[in-house]
Amino acid sequence: MTVDLSVVYCGIKHESPFILAPSPATDHLHLLIQGFEAGWAGAVLKTVAVDSRIVSRVFPMVTRIEQENAFIGLQNIDLVSEHSVEIVEQNVRALKKRFPNKVVVPSIMAFTKEDWQSLTKRFVQAGADIIECSIWHPHGTEWTLCTKVQEPVGTEQIASWVKEAAGDVPVVIKLSALDSDIMATAEAVERSGANGVSAINTIKSITGVDLDTLIPYPNIAGLSTYGGLSGPALKPISLRCTAEIAQRVKLDIASSGGIATWKDCAEFLLLGASTLQLCTSVLRFGLGIIDELKPGLEGWMKEKGFQSLTDVIGKSLPYLVDHSRLPRGIQVVSHIQKEDCNGCGACCIACESGGHGAISLVDGLPQVEVNKCIGCGICRSMCLSKAITLIRPNGKQSTSL
């Protein structure tokens, strides 16, 4: 069986859903060329503003975030493209001439109606396939080129300005999970006439504090600031935003935030995304990660019998319901698969601390007292060896979290 990875997003055909998100990897022409030659279907160029050239950058701009030596994300204090609008225009023209079938998306940021529309018209004339608008920035708010807080009224107004100037070229609005009501803002984007949304932007954050110097990271000559969190830590939030937007409006969705593997890609597609924007994973693993994403997604689709992305997109949404609609009265209990258990005791600690004391160690292995277990699943969630399942008390039917 052959699998078709092409997708139509905002009326534009993409050869696959895999898009380079705005980042240092999309701010230089030679890297964009490498990305397209490697197999990426498109790229959102690093956000540019009318006054990009006056932005004073500071270094270091990026800090690693980890938990027990496991990489969970990056925090960046970067702002917009280091290039002028003129240079980015040249990049758009050069890319469309060399790669006419790739999707080139300038990301713009402005403060006034005149600047929003001027930037839009310039990039439309340069040959942009889609215009993406970055209305809110998670840091650098003193640099007032955009709104300090994304909200429905302002977003709808800006989106309508850009759509008016863009003509037939699709317009996408980037949304923030820190929005006071991201669903209301998505509805505002739909009312504006824009074609899609990108969800989500990085989240305002602090990496941590150096306990020797007492200075938060990153240390910029003795001072620090807030930054934008990206990477695996964002995935649950981004999945939630993708699903809620897909259930609320009829806009095409480009998902970003925590996408690193083909399995991540499949999950976002199942929850309503049409395209997938990757940034942190590209910085960590390189542009060649596309060679793992494509065959991984294709193999899974073949296994499930999906011939095209149309069969996949939004497939899991019907399973998401309000809490009040969840089935009641179904009893499950924990079951230890002893062949997979390493006897670490994490399940016992979890059950004793937050459960009902239903698990105890017997001869070095955990044992469940079924009459005490209520099936809360805390033990399963804490088991790193995945040795715990939840089953019906009669053992005949299992369920998963």
Q: Over the stretch 332-381, which tens digit does the pLDDT of each residue have?
A: 999 999 999 999 999 999 999 987 899 999 988 999 999 999 999 999 99
Same domain membership, residue 214 and residue 74: yes
CA 57 to each of CA 48, 60, 134, 220: distance values in angstroms, whole numbers, following the listed order: 14, 9, 19, 11
Reply yes or no: is the peptide bond before residue 218 cis, omega within 30 of 0: yes
Dump the DSSP string for 11-54. TEEESSSEEEPSSGGGSSHHHHHHHHHHT--EEEPPPEETTGGG
CA dist 11 and 32 (Å) reads 23
Provide the residue range defining the domain that includes 298.
Answer: 7-319
Is the per-residue pLDDT at 147 higher than 80?
no
Residue 47's domain is classified under what CATH number? 3.20.20.70
Q: How many angstroms separate the first and last alpha carbons of the chain?
A: 31
Query: What pLDDT was estimated at residue 144?
Result: 44
Query: pTM (2 decimals)?
Result: 0.93
Query: What pLDDT was estimated at residue 170?
Result: 98
Confidence of residue 177 (pLDDT cuts 50, 70, 90): confident
Averaged pLDDT score across all residues of the chain: 92
Is residue 380 situated within a structural domain? yes
More confident position, 67 or 42: 42
In the beta sheet, which residues pair with residue 42?
19, 103
Query: What pLDDT was estimated at residue 146?
Result: 47
Contacts of 16 (CB under 8 A, 6+ apart): 5, 6, 7, 39, 41, 294
Same domain membership, residue 333 and residue 214: no
Given 258, 292, 319, which residue is the final one in a domain? 319
Same domain membership, residue 335 and residue 289: no
CA dist 59 and 218 (Å) reads 9
Is residue 324 situated within a structural domain? no
Residue 348's domain is classified under what CATH number? 3.30.70.20
Query: What pLDDT was estimated at residue 51?
Result: 72
Shortest CA distance to 75 belongs to which of 289, 279, 285, 211? 279
Query: What pLDDT was estimated at residue 61?
Result: 82
Tell me, rounded to whole angstroms, the distance of Cα 154 from its chain centroid: 23
Structural domains counted in the chain: 2
CA 53 to each of CA 56, 76, 109, 306, 397: distance values in angstroms, whole numbers, following the listed order: 8, 19, 13, 47, 63
Given 258, 287, 319, which residue is the final one in a domain? 319
CA dist 239 and 343 (Å) reads 33
Contacts of 97 (CB under 8 A, 6+ apart): none
Confidence of residue 400 (pLDDT cuts 50, 70, 90): very low
Is the per-residue pLDDT at 53 higher than 70?
no
Is residue 94 situated within a structural domain? yes
CA dist 43 and 275 (Å) reads 11
Given 274, 290, 319, which residue is the final one in a domain? 319
CA dist 315 and 336 (Å) reads 32
Is the per-residue pLDDT at 272 higher than 60?
yes
Condensed to tens digits (0 to 9), the pLDDT of residues 305-318 reads 999 999 999 999 99
Tokens read off for 163 = 């759509």
Is residue 340 situated within a structural domain? yes
Mean pLDDT of 156-178: 96
Same domain membership, residue 344 and residue 290: no
Q: Where are the beta strands (DSSP E) in 128-178?
A: 131-133, 171-175
Confidence of residue 52 (pLDDT cuts 50, 70, 90): low
CA dist 59 and 103 (Å) reads 32
Is residue 2 situated within a structural domain? no
Is the per-residue pLDDT at 243 higher than 90?
yes
Tokens read off for 216 = 């938060």
Same domain membership, residue 197 and residue 108: yes
CA dist 136 and 148 (Å) reads 6
Is residue 249 situated within a structural domain? yes
Longest dimension (CA), the chain: 74
- The CB density around residue 321, as the number of other CB atoms within 10 Å, is 9
Helix (H) and strand (E) counts for the chain? 11, 21
Same domain membership, residue 210 and residue 159: yes
Tokens read off for 131 = 């215009």
Tokens read off for 394 = 């009669």
